[in-house]
């Protein structure tokens, strides 16, 4: 299924039904009074979280959603029926914005709901206007229009651990090696075109979710490459793996550049716990000693050969639990 993490749609609540003007007319009841019923309220457009979804793909095919109109009131004080609600299902991690860019809600829990377009209120029938001085009112109220707005849905994946690195650093290979995920792996840039999620299941330990973010390049925060399209997904993670290709021989420079790109996008990303993982040690005859400017845990692995993964997973497990 294609991964879509942003969509813009128009939603409209249903129109309220009109009130009714009616008078009671029964045999042997000479002074029947007003008995016009109220109109029904219009339906709402509602978003609901469905944990089985992981993309906003459905909202790229259809862009307008309108709830049902309320029924008109009738005689004998019969109220119109309420309009049908429209329920739109979205994946966990969906943030909803209005047309001004204001966040309306962050939908993360299964079953969580948000009314994004309220239906109009039904109008009152003439029975509501009867008083001691006005016994035969001819008045009624028209139903109100439903709320109409354009909203933007933005999906931010929810994961415990996010893997960030340059293209071909081995992110997808690492995800395949530690989880049941099967992302595409190849030797050309931008093999990963969308985030991948994998569940790491360690015996006698709670499972945790790892996200493989598409490769980041210099200038990603300015819109270069593909990583900028998915940097938002890193915001959901609890900790980060900075994955660097040690065979390239410039670990300190790559590490500093990745930190720069994440900090330029959102400085809070650098406040998350992180570890530095040096991949592709199988391509080296001797593993060099590496130091970086901040005191982060460093692990040497070969994701392809599955070397060094046990100690890495134990560290991730401890950090996730903490």
Annotated binding site for GTP: 165-172, 190-194, 212-215, 279-282, 302-304
**CB neighbour list of residue 140: distance below 8 Å, 6 or more residues apart:** 18, 19, 20, 21, 36, 73, 123, 124, 125, 126, 129
Helix axes 171-178, 309-321, angle to 10 degrees: 80
Q: How far apart are CA 213 and CA 91, in angstroms?
A: 18
47: helix, strand or coil: strand
Q: Which residues are annotated as a binding site?
A: 165-172, 190-194, 212-215, 279-282, 302-304
Instruction: Enter the tokens of residue 136.
Output: 């035969």
Point out which residues pair with 211 in neighbouring strands: 162, 197
Q: Which residues are annotated as a binding site for Mg(2+)?
A: 172, 192
Q: How far apart are CA 175 and CA 163, in angstroms?
A: 9
- Phi, psi for residue 270 in degrees, rounded to 5: -80, -5
């Amino acid at each position: 299924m294609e991964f879509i993490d942003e969509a813009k749609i128009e939603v409209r609540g249903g129109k309220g039904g009109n009130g009714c003007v009616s008078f009671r007319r029964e045999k042997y009841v000479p002074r029947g009074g007003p008995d016009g019923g109220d109109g029904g309220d219009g339906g709402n457009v509602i978003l609901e979280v469905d944990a089985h979804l992981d993309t906003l793909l459905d909202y790229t095919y259809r862009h307008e959603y309108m709830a049902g109109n309320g029924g008109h009131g009738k005689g004998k004080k019969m109220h119109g029926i309420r309009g049908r609600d429209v329920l739109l299902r979205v994946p966990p991690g969906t943030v909803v914005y209005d047309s001004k860019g204001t966040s309306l809600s962050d939908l993360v829990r299964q079953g969580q709901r948000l009314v994004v377009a309220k239906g109009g209120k039904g109008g009152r029938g003439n029975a509501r206007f009867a008083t001691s001085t006005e016994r035969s009112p001819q008045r009624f109220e028209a139903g109100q229009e439903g709320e109409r707005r354009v909203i933007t849905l933005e999906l931010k994946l929810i994961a415990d651990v996010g893997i960030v690195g340059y293209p071909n650093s081995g992110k997808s290979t690492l995800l395949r090696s530690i989880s049941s995920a099967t992302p595409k792996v190849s030797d050309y840039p931008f093999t990963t075109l969308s985030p991948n999620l994998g569940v790491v299941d360690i015996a006698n330990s709670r499972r945790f979710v790892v996200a493989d973010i598409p490769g980041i390049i210099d200038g990603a925060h300015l819109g270069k490459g593909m990583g900028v399209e998915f940097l938002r997904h890193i915001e959901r993670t609890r900790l980060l793996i900075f994955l660097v290709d040690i065979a390239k021989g410039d670990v300190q420079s790559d590490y500093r550049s990745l930190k720069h790109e994440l900090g330029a996008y959102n400085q809070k990303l650098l406040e998350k716990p992180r570890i530095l993982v040096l991949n592709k040690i199988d391509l080296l005859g001797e593993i060099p000693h590496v130091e970086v400017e901040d005191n982060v845990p460093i692990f040497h692995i070969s994701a392809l050969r599955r070397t060094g993964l046990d100690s890495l997973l134990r560290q991730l497990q401890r950090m996730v639990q903490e």
